[in-house]
Structure 1
Amino acid sequence: MSKRITPFTSRYCSTLDRLKEAIRRKRPGFLRRGVVLQHDNATPHSANLTQQWLQRHGWEILPRPAHSPDLAVAPSDFHLFEPLKRHLGGMAFETEDDLISALRNWFDNLDVDFFRVGFNSLLSRWQKCIDLHGDYVEK
């Protein structure tokens, strides 16, 4: 079944283009080793345009275990958003640019270990799923 192209799908493919360029610039050699993304079933992720982009560039999607809904979320859902919400809690922004500036400042000041902990947590969750042969994984 063909999914129609939405503005979100086009924007997502543009984001993938920028990501690819950033990887090429900042981490030479990583693209040759292959890129693996974790997607959910959001329309921009599953749209034909996105699938064609991924295939054209040789990027893979990490398969999602059917019986472990807690693994179906991106690391941002279980590791990034809560600290971000705490940081932004109570703040008010007059313009979108003010919000973007606050977000950039927060991300720029995060230690690399913040991201390492998030991805290691994801690896740990996936290992539990593998050990349980795809059964449900508790958090």
Structure 2
Amino acid sequence: MSKRITPFASRYCSTLDSLKEAIRRKRPGLLRRGVVLQHDNATLHSANLTQQSLQRYGWEILPHPAHSPDLAPSDFHLFGPLKRHLVGMAFDKEDDLISELRNWFDTLDVDFFRVGINSLLSRWQNCIDLHGDYVEK
């Protein structure tokens, strides 16, 4: 795959910079032990600029097969509850939707996210055991 610069790679690198700063502030020991980042093979993730940032940080990339929603915590853990929360709501303005999303995220406790990330371990093992086939819930 060509590792070209995309229009969004610069923005993604800024997001990675913000993530690194947030980790430094909130979990400084994590940066010393090493960060394992999961993202897919989207063009902005494989862009040279992104790869240079990740190399500079020394972060390990957890490989993620293409089209594998069963291995993406946002797909198997986050979107279902979010969809249930938003059922029946309508928003006239984008700002109203953003506000509602922020309010919803503020109601989630750390255990919600911990469960999603921890279930990734068993899902990866299932994927390995199935030789890469789709992992059912």
TM-score by length of 2: 0.86
1:91–1:133 distance in 2 versus 1, CA, 3 Å: closer
Q: Which residue of 2 aligns with 1:112?
A: 110
Q: Which residue of 1 aligns with 2:38?
A: 38
Tell me the alpha carbon deviations over residues 7-59 of structure 1, each in whole angstroms, 9 at most, x when there is no partner. Answer: x2111111111111111111121111111111111111111111111001111
Match of 1:101 among 99, 102, 110: 99
- Name the amino acid aligned to 1:10: S
After TM superposition, give the deviation of residue 137 of structure 1 in Å: 4.9
Q: Which residue of 2 aligns with 1:136?
A: 133
1:54–1:41 distance in 2 versus 1, CA, 3 Å: same
After TM superposition, give the deviation of residue 133 of structure 1 in Å: 7.3
Identity of aligned residues (%): 75
Does residue 5 of the first structure (1) align with residue 6 of the second (2)?
yes
1:18–1:38 distance in 2 versus 1, CA, 3 Å: same
- Name the amino acid aligned to 1:76: S
TM-score by length of 1: 0.84
Q: Give unmatched runs, 5+ long, in structure 2.
A: none
Number of aligned residue pairs: 135
Q: Give unmatched runs, 5+ long, in structure 1.
A: none
SS of 1:124's partner is: helix
Q: Is the 8 A contact 2:24 2:31 kept in 1?
A: yes
